[in-house]
Amino acid sequence: MSTPRRLGLLGGVTWHSSLEYERLINEGINKELGGVASGDLLVRSYNFADIAAAQESGDWAGLARLFADDASRMADAGAEGIVICANTMHKITHEVAEGSGLPVIDIRDAVADAVLAAGHTTVSLFATAYTMRERFYTDHLERRGVTAVVPQEPDLTEVHRIIFEELAQGVVLPQSRETIQRLAKELAEQGSEGFIAGCTEIPMLITDGDVEGPYFDALALHAAAAVRFALETHE
């Protein structure tokens, strides 16, 4: 039986999505290798309250040190690649890769690949305010030939509130689903050709079929990319 490459998962951002990463990666590897095969995973699950406080205070340097140090320990433990189980934390991708000496499987590339493969170039991005306001995500997509548009204020702040005050706490409300659906429809009327679930908690609220046009689940696409990486030496 082939053994997949060991992956280091920097998760707990939040734990809801971390569980999905583990499930999808294990299922994907089992589908390819069969039998009782599963992933070879090292998992670092964080207290999201600490992460959220650091994000809110702007301590990205501290978060970069934390994630890079943990990724380095994973490298010492035999990991061959790192998966940052969050869209927003890809703001520190470079620091994690540099600190660990390992390749970081980038969620933004997984999304760009899927959007381009579907024949689209302009899509709406629903994510945390950090991901929507700052340029680390949209610029990366732009370099790949994908334009991401986001809601305007005060709607952008409301999407962020839904993520942190509801989804991060496991709360899924119909009225919040209706809000996201309304905003997605407005962006589609302005030229968006698809919907990026650009926060790993968004699929708790909005799934394929809840919005018009193609739906790009960043978490699922990222997990699939991690599976491909894990199996590369066994193809």
The pLDDT tens digits of the residues spanning 108-147 come to 999 999 999 999 999 999 999 999 999 999 999 999 999 9
> Which residues are bridge partners to 8 per DSSP?
42, 82
Q: Which domains does the chain have, with CATH numbers?
A: 7-106+221-234 (3.40.50.1860), 108-218 (3.40.50.1860)
Given this model, what pLDDT does residue 17 score?
87
Where do the H-state alpha helices sit in the chain? 15-33, 48-57, 60-76, 93-100, 107-117, 129-133, 138-143, 155-161, 174-189, 218-231
Q: Please give the structure tokens belonging to residue 213.
A: 């046009």
Report, as ranges of residue numbers, the positions in the chain whose pLDDT lies below 70.
Answer: 1, 233-235
pTM of the model: 0.94
